[in-house]
Amino acid sequence: MIHRLPARRALWLVASLSFSILLAACSASLAATPLEAPYYSYIYDFWSYMVPAPQAYLPDRVYDGDALGVGPLKDPLDLFVSADRHVYLADTGNNRIICMDSNYRVTKVISGFVNNGVQDKFNKPEGVFVTAAGEIYVADTVNGRVVVLDREGNLLRIVGPPELSDEYEGIVSEDFVYRPRKVAVSPTREMYVIARDVFDGLMKYNAGGNFSGFIGAPRVAPTLWERFWAWIATDEQRERKALFLPIEYVNIDIDSKGMIMAVEQGTSKKESVKRLNPAGEDVLVRAGFLPPMGDPADRSTGISVFADIVAREFGTYTVLDRQYGRIFTYDSLGNLLYVFGGLGDSVGLFRLPTAIDTLGSDVVVLDSSGSFTVFKPTEYGKLITAALALYNSGRYEEATEYWKKVLRLNANYDMAYSGIGSALFRQGDYIGAMTNFRLGQNRAGYSEAFAVYRREVVGQHFGTFATVVAIVIVLIWVFARARARASSRLEPADSTAAGIYGAYSAQPHAFHYQVEHRNLLMKDKIRETLRALRFAFHVLAHPFDGFWELKHEKRGNLAAANVILLFVVATLIFMRQYTGFVLNKNDLWQLNVITEALGVVVPFILWCAVNWALTTLMEGKGTFREIVIASAYSLLPLILVIVPLTLVSHFLVLEEAQIYYLILVLSMIWAGLMLFIGTMITHEYSFAKTIGTSVLVVAGIGVSLFIMLLFSTVINHMIVFAIDIYSEAVLR
C-alpha cells in the first residue's frame, strides 16, 4: 500500500536530503584539500626582478611538545633526519635529545647517559648529527664537548676541547673556552665542529677524535672606504674602531659526496653559502641569475640572514632564512628553484626558525619557539623534482616532458626553458635548443648551442660564402674606379652665392625670385653641411691638421656637429637594443629613448660648458662654438666602430666576448684621444696643460651634477611644502 506525503512535507524532505548531500560533498572536498599557504611564492628573473610563482610546498602539520607527548619544547635549536628516516631534535632548553620515527612518533628521549659508571647529563645541547651507522653526535655546548652515543643512547666516547700538539701551538689561545654549537661527520668519519667565538673556520677532528686544525676560514674583506679611513685614522681612533674579524659559520651539513655545505652568520651576501671540499676550498657553483644569497639587499622584501642549510638529492640544497622565515631551494648550478615560508602565527609561518632538514620529499622546519612544521610538495614542486631527477639520470626526453608540464603551471619559469634547451641540445636539435635557451635567458647554454650550429653552417656553406664575399669585393672595387673616372671628367659647378644671384637677377617676379633664392640657399646649406660631415673623416685620419683646419679655416659647422651628435645617440640606442643575445644583458622592455638620449646629450653639453668656463680663465683660445664642433667631431669613432660591432655581435659566442669588449673599449679610447687632441688644438695648449685642464673639466662636471641634484632636491621639497600648505588650507 502506497501512502502519499503532503506536498509541503515532500518538498521539505527533498530539500533536507539535497542539503545533506551537498554538505557531505563539501566536507569531503575540504578534507581532501591541503592547507592554503599563508605566504606568497616567487622567483627572480635574469634582471633580478621578483616574479610570482605557484606554491612548491604547502604546510601539512605542526608538531609541538604536547602533540609529541613529551611536554613543552623549550628553545629547541637543531633538527636532523638520519639515513634510516628517523628524526632527532635537540631540545636545548630541556637538555635532551628527542628521537622520532618517520611518522613523528617519539621512540625515545635521551636526557642523560652513563659515563664511567656515573649518570651524566647534557647542558644546553645546540646541535645533533647522526651518521649512516647510527652514531649520534651531540654538541653539548655549555659542557664544552661533543658526546657520541649509539642508537640506544649508550655512550661511545666524548670529544672534548682540542688538545694542541706543537704543530698547532698558537692557533688557539690559552684562554679559549670551547663551546661547540653544531657538529657534522663526513663519510670518512672526520668530524667538523662550529664553536662559539671561533673565527678561523670549522674545527676539524680526525677519525680518532684528535684535533687537526681549521678549514674554510671566511676571508676578511673590508671595503675600500674602510681601508681608506683605517689608513688616515689616528692610533686612538684605530683602537676604538671594531676589528675586521671574519664571520662565523652558523650551520653545516654533509652532502652525498662528502662535501661540507655551510652558511655564514650575518646579512645576505654573495658568499653566504659555501660548499667546502676536504681542503677547505669553496667549490660552490654560482651560475644562477643571482648568487645563492636569498633575497638580495636591494629588494623591498628584506635582507636574508641564513640559519641553516640542508643538502638534498641531485646536488640541490635548501637554506633557511631566519630573518624573514623564507626557505630557498637551489639546484647544483645555483639556480633558484622555488621559495616558500614566512613569519607569523599561522600554520606554515614561524616565529624564530632555527633549523631545517628533509624527510624524503617533505621539508621539516624547526621553530625555536617550541614547534616544528612539516611541508609537503605540491604538484608543481613534484614536477620540478622529477624533471631534475630525470635529467640527472640522463633521461633527457622524459625530463623535457616534465619541464613542459612545469611551464603549463608557470610560464615564467626560466629553469624549465633551460632544461628543455639542454635536452634538445643533447639530442642534436640546436635551433630548438637556442630558442629555449633564449626564452630562459640562458646565455651560456645559447652560446654553446650556437657555437655548434655555427660550425655546422660554416662547414656546409663555406664555399658559397667565400664566393659571395669575393664577388662583393670586386664589385665595390669596380664601382669605386668607375666613380673616380667619372668625377675626374666633371667640371666643378659654380655654387657660390654670387653665381646664384647673377643667374636669377633678371627674374621678373620678386616673389618667385625669393622662393627660388630661399630654396637654393637651403640646398647650399645642405651641401655645406655634407662637406663638413665629409671633413670629419679627414679629421679622423689627420687629427692634428684636421682640428687646426676646423678652428682656423672653418671647415666644420654646428649643423654637422649636431648631426654627428644625433648619430652618436642613435648608435648607442642601436647598440643597447640590437646587440646579439649572448652579449646583450639589457632589459629591452625598460628601454627609454629619451633617457638614453639625455644620457649622451647632457654629459656632452656639460663637457662643452665646463670646458668653455674653465678655459676662459686659463687663457684658452677656443670659443664655445669651436669647443662644441671639436667635441662632436671627436665622437665619430664611436659611430664607425659600434654600428658594425653590434651587427657582428650576433655571430659571436661567449668565448669571443673578450674580443667584442676589447674593440668597444678601444673605440672609446680612440674617441677619448680625439677629444684630448681637439681640446689641445682648439685652445692652443701644451700637452701637460691639456691633461690638467681635462682633469679639471671632469671635476667641474661632477660639481655641476652635484649642484644640479641639490637644486632639484630643494625645488622638490619646496613644491611638497607648498602642496602641504595648500592641502592644510583647503581641509581646514
What percentage of the chain exceeds 90 in pLDDT?
A: 60
Q: What own/partner pairs with CB < 8 Å and gap ≥ 24 does 104-113 have?
A: 104/63, 104/68, 104/374, 106/68, 106/69, 106/70, 108/152, 108/153, 109/70, 110/136, 110/149, 110/153, 113/147, 113/149, 113/153, 113/154, 113/155
Q: Any residues with CB less than 8 A from the CB of 714 and at least 6 apart, and which? A: none
pLDDT exceeds 60 at position 243? no
pLDDT exceeds 60 at position 30? no
Q: How many CA atoms lie within 13 A of 600 on its CB side?
A: 20
CA dist 660 and 585 (Å) reads 14
Question: Phi and psi of 48, rounded to 5°?
Answer: 70, 25
CA dist 716 and 404 (Å) reads 51
pLDDT of residue 591: 84
Mean pLDDT, residues 534-559 taken together: 92
Residue 83, classed as helix, strand or coil, is coil
Mean pLDDT, residues 120-148 taken together: 95
CA dist 218 and 482 (Å) reads 71
> Which value, to the nearest 10 degrees, does the dihedral of the CA atoms of residues 295, 299, 302, 306 take?
20
CA dist 90 and 86 (Å) reads 13
CA dist 675 and 176 (Å) reads 63
pLDDT of residue 726: 80
CA dist 170 and 336 (Å) reads 42
The Cβ of residue 265 has, within 10 Å, a number of other Cβ atoms equal to 15
Mean pLDDT, residues 529-543 taken together: 92
- Band of residue 519 on the pLDDT scale cut at 50, 70, 90: low
pLDDT of residue 301: 56
What would the pLDDT profile of 357-415 be if each residue is shown by its tens digit? 999 999 999 999 999 999 999 999 999 999 999 988 889 889 999 999 999 999 999 99
- For residue 86, the 8-state DSSP code is -
- Band of residue 509 on the pLDDT scale cut at 50, 70, 90: low
Residue 373, classed as helix, strand or coil, is strand
pLDDT exceeds 70 at position 64? yes
pLDDT of residue 488: 64
42-219+244-377 to CATH, choices 2.40.110.10, 3.40.605.10, 2.120.10.30, 3.30.499.10? 2.120.10.30
CA dist 215 and 205 (Å) reads 11
Burial 53-85 (b: 16+ CB within 10 A, else e): bbbbbbbbebbebeebebeebebbbbbbbbeee
Domain ranges of the chain: 42-219+244-377, 396-489, 520-717
As separate numbers, helices (DSSP H) first and strands (DSSP E) second, the chain gives: 18, 27
Domain 396-489 architecture: Alpha Horseshoe (1.25)
Least confident of 437-446, 511-520, 555-564: 511-520
Question: Phi and psi of 714, rounded to 5°?
Answer: -65, -45
- Band of residue 29 on the pLDDT scale cut at 50, 70, 90: very low
- Band of residue 220 on the pLDDT scale cut at 50, 70, 90: low
Q: Which of 219-228, 297-306, 578-587 has the highest mean pLDDT?
A: 578-587
CA dist 273 and 282 (Å) reads 9
Instruction: Note whether 42-219+244-377 and 396-489 share their fold.
Output: no
